Amino acid sequence: MPEHQKIRNIVIIGAGNLATHLALALHRKGVNVIQVLNRTRHAGERLARRVGAGYTDDFRAADLGADLFLLAVSDSSIEEVAKNLQLKAQLLVHTSGSVDLSVLKNASLNIGVFYPLQTFSKEKRINFSNIPVCIEANTKENEEKLVQLARLLSNKVQILSSSQRKVLHMTAVFAGNFSSFMYTIAEDLLKKHDIPFSLLKPLIQQTAATAKNEDVFSRQTGPAVREDTKIIDEHLEMLSKHGVYMEIYDLISKSIIKHKNRNDQL
Amino acid sequence: MPEHQKIRNIVIIGAGNLATHLALALHRKGVNVIQVLNRTRHAGERLARRVGAGYTDDFRAADLGADLFLLAVSDSSIEEVAKNLQLKAQLLVHTSGSVDLSVLKNASLNIGVFYPLQTFSKEKRINFSNIPVCIEANTKENEEKLVQLARLLSNKVQILSSSQRKVLHMTAVFAGNFSSFMYTIAEDLLKKHDIPFSLLKPLIQQTAATAKNEDVFSRQTGPAVREDTKIIDEHLEMLSKHGVYMEIYDLISKSIIKHKNRNDQL
């Protein structure tokens, strides 16, 4: 890609967790964050200071000379905020896993998506190098520009369509949010019986480590995959005072058995 | 504890994954595994060779001079195998998370449980130092002997009653087996849409890392805890062809919302 087409100057819209982590990471990689645009002054000014950018809360004051407008706002605000920018051909991207590229189509001639797949908490500095960044754009040239930018941050840059990105986002709910809730259920039940949650921590780490391979199900253990109905029934009995947990135990166990028998037939 | 009361000589009954890993680990720590008793000759002889022990498939040939008889057989065989040993006062333990100590009560005067909380696969050498070992015994003296033995292997030795151990085992199903199945669902759905599962691996590791803290739920993210019904409905729609996965998504999401609102009220 010719030097003059590289993305050098960025306007960040938003000052939440994702906006902050992206702005800081790009700034560290030598990309100029020239402006932070955010409705709430305090958070916007704070982020602007950290990356040496200007700050504005006024869409009409957006610096239209930037190479990229990076929208890191809530899913439901993307379309409206994009319109308010009143761009013509400046490259405009959103950062959402679940929003279609097409919501930007009336906001600029050059549009894309820059979606880092990770959960960002406020606290600690994020190392993006291992975090997948999923790219989509309305032209090959825009795609290439965004891929180059993403590669500054991450070793795992992936081009995905809007529909693929939505599937990925949905599966991240299972692999991330729901597995985390399984830990919560365990912690909750242990607390009720005065048993330290720390006893489960090595198991949790080891289980996550098995997902470093493909075909996770081949490493599935426990009463369900053994179809050990005696233990399953004992566990359901123990959970009888915890209605929802019992339902979850029952449904997932049945689903594991079904999955196993389906695989056995293949 | 006086030197002469330490456990020095062990008979291992069983030659499966757990028997093998325990025998090898104890052997490495200088404990004498003097005999392996196993019905299947091939596996029994193999394990006996690896730890320099004798082998027998005959209960009547069990070496009654051992300090400890360690039963690492399937849950359903424990009671019968224990009886067949025809011990009087030799210390006899089983290694199961879900079986009561009392099933051993007619098999010897000195009984206990030695339960390492981990999933053991055949393949690789296990480092027990980080694996919790849960101890129970019918007397303080037996408990102390087993704690001493467990400390040779692990930094995390925990005394638990039979009922606590059963709760721990049940919660390990949630935290280990069920979280693993969440990865399987994600992998399965991604495969159907030609999206590499590797994209989720960093998220899985990061999510497991959050469980190193207490109060996992305070770090819960995703559409359910945000009560983002628009995204939840989109995901359910995407899952409509995958009946069981849709049910699981729906039930866990509702449970997360319920948990959140319960916590908000506290």
Instruction: Looking at the structure, tell me whether residues B147 and B83 fall in a common domain.
Output: yes
Distance CA A227, CA A206 (A): 23
Report the residue of B121, B125, B174 to disrupt the A interface, i.e. the one with the largest count of A CBs within 10 Å.
B174
pLDDT (tens digit per residue) in B165-212: 999 999 999 999 999 999 999 999 999 999 999 999 999 999 999 999
- Residues B259, B152, single domain; the answer is no
Name the residue among B125, B208, B94 with its Cα closest to residue A202.
B208
Distances (CA, A) of B11 to A128, A152, B73: 52, 59, 13
Neighbours of B171 (CB within 10 A): 27
A200 and A155 part of one domain: no
ipTM of the complex: 0.93
| Cα B125 to Cα B127: distance, rounded to the nearest angstrom | 7
Alpha-carbon Rg for chain A in angstroms: 23
Query: What confidence score (pLDDT) does residue B95 get?
Result: 97
Kindly provide the residue ranges of all beta strands, DSSP E only, lying in A29-116, ordered along the sequence.
32-37, 54-56, 68-71, 91-94, 111-116
Residue B183 to residue A225, Cβ atoms within 8 A: no
> What mean pLDDT is predicted for residues B101-122?
91
CB nearest A216 (choices: B132, B187, B254): B187
Q: What is the CATH number for B107?
A: 3.40.50.720
Q: Does one domain contain both A135 and A18?
A: yes
Q: How many domains does chain B have?
A: 2
Task: Point out the residue among B173, B198, B216 whose CB comes nearest to the CB of A184.
Answer: B216
Indicate whether B175 and B142 sit together in one domain.
no
The pair of three-digit structure tokens given for residue A160, joined into one six-digit string: 């995905």
Q: Helices B179-192 and A162-172, interaxial angle, to 10°?
A: 170
Q: Supply the CATH number for residue A189's domain.
A: 1.10.1040.20
Asked whether residue B21 falls in the same domain as residue B67, the answer is yes
Kindly state whether residues B83 and B154 are assigned to the same domain. yes
Chain B closest CA to A1's CA: distance in Å? 26
When comparing pLDDT for B266 and B83, which is higher? B83
CB contact under 8 A, A187 and B235: no
CB B186 within 8 A of CB A179: no
Give the pLDDT confidence score for residue B265 in this predicted structure: 62
Last residue of a domain, which of A124, A142, A160? A160
CB contact (8 A) between residue A235 and residue B76: no
pLDDT at B168: 97
| DSSP 8-state symbol, A213 | S
Contacts of A187 in chain B (CB under 8 A): 214-217
Same domain, A145 and A210: no
For residues A8 and A102, the answer to whether their CB atoms sit within 8 Å is: no
Tell me how close the Cα of B154 comes to any Cα of chain A, in angstroms: 12
Looking at the structure, do residues B139 and B199 belong to the same domain, yes or no?
no
Are the beta carbons of B209 and A127 closer than 8 angstroms? no
Cα dist from B7 to B10, B37, B118, whole Å: 8, 18, 23
Assigned token pair, B202: 């960093």
CA-based nearest residue in chain B for residue A207: B176
CA B20 – CA B123 distance, rounded (Å): 11
Q: Please identify, among B160, B178, B194, the residue that sits at the C-terminal boundary of a domain.
A: B160
Q: Which residue is closest to B186 within chain A, CA to CA?
A: A171
3-class DSSP state for residue A139?
A: coil
Residue A210 belongs to domain spanning: 166-265
Q: Are residues B138 and B170 in the same domain?
A: no
Burial A94-126 (b: 16+ CB within 10 A, else e): bbbbbbbbebbeebbebbbbbbbbbbbeeeeeb
Over residues A114-129, the pLDDT tens digits come to 999 987 766 677 889 9
Q: What is the pLDDT of residue B121?
A: 67
Q: Give the DSSP H or E segment for B199.
A: none
How much is the pLDDT for B127? 85
- For residue A78, give both structure tokens: 């993307």
Q: What is the mean pLDDT of residues A232-243?
A: 95
* Secondary structure (3-state) at B113: strand
Closest CA to B134 of A203, A188, A229: A203
Q: Does residue B145 share a domain with residue B189?
A: no
Q: What is the pLDDT of residue B61?
A: 94
Q: Select the residue of A190, A216, A259 nearest B183 (Cβ to Cβ).
A: A216
Q: What is the reported pLDDT for A263?
A: 75
- The CA distance from B190 to B177, in Å, is 20
In which band, very low, low, confident or very high, does the pLDDT at B1 lie, cut at 50, 70 and 90? low
Average pLDDT, chain B: 94
Which residue, B114, B138, B160, sits at the end of a domain? Answer: B160
Structure token pair of residue B106: 């007619």
Q: Is residue B189 domain-shared with residue B140, that is, in the same domain? A: no
The answer to whether B134 and B168 have CB atoms below 8 angstroms apart is yes
The tokens for B151 are 């400390």
Longest dimension (CA), chain A: 69
